[in-house]
Amino acid sequence: MTDADPSPRPRPGGRSARVVADAHTATLELLEEAGYEQLKLSDVARRAGINKTTVYRRWPTKASLVTDLLAGFTRVKVATPDTGSLQTDLEQLLAGIADTLGNRAVRAVLHGALSGADDDDIRIAQAAFWEERFRRSGDVVEKAIARGDLPPGTDPRALLEMASGPIYFRALFTIDPVTQAYIADVAGRTVRAFA
C-alpha cells in the first residue's frame, strides 16, 4: 500500500485487538480442556493461529496471560438488579454469579489465578477484578439503603462478601450444586444479618 492509496488502513489496535481476542479465546478453550497447570503459550499460539513470537512478546508467561484475562473479565458488565426488594435483588445477583461460575473456562481462569497467586501481576489483577466487581454490584446495596431496606452506613462490600462467598465456595471448591433454593437461603441469611 502506497501513501497515495485511498483504501483505509487498519488503525493501530485493529490487528492487535484481533490478536488479543484470538489469544484469549484460545486460552479459555485450553483452560477449559486441560486446566491452568497444562496451559502452554505455544499451544495458545497454535490454537489461535498466531505466531509464537507474537504471543511470547505480548505475554512472556502464562501468568501474564491469565492476568490479562482477569483484566478483561473486570470490564465485563455486571448486572445490578433493581426489583424493589433486597432479597430478590440478591437472589438475581447470586444466580448470575452461579451461572458465570458454571462455565468451566471461567472456573479454570479463577483456579489459574489462585494457582499463580504468588505472582505479583496476578495478585494486582485479582485485586482490580474484585474491586470492580464489588463497586458495580454495590449499587444493589445502595438502592436498598435508599429504600430503607438497610440501615444507613451499611458497608456494601461486607454485605456482598457475605452473600457471594458461599456461592463462590460451593461452585469452585465443592461438588455441591448451587440451586435456586440454596441461593434464596444465602440471600435470606444475608438480608437478616444486615437488616
> Would you say residue 94 has pLDDT above 70?
yes
Nearest to 41 by CA among 95, 26, 32, 187: 26
Nearest to 116 by CA among 126, 101, 103: 126
> Would you say residue 85 has pLDDT above 90?
yes
pTM of this prediction?
A: 0.73
- Average pLDDT score, the chain: 84
Q: What is the CA radius of gyration of the chain?
A: 20
Share of the chain above pLDDT 70, in %: 85
Where is pLDDT greater, at 80 or 129?
80
Decide if 3 contacts 79 (C-beta within 8 A): no
> Would you say residue 8 has pLDDT above 60?
no
Domains, in order of start, for the chain: 14-60 (1.10.10.60), 73-194 (1.10.357.10)
pLDDT-based confidence at residue 113 (cuts at 50, 70, 90): low
pLDDT-based confidence at residue 77 (cuts at 50, 70, 90): low
What's the average model confidence in pLDDT over 5-32? Answer: 73
pLDDT-based confidence at residue 124 (cuts at 50, 70, 90): confident
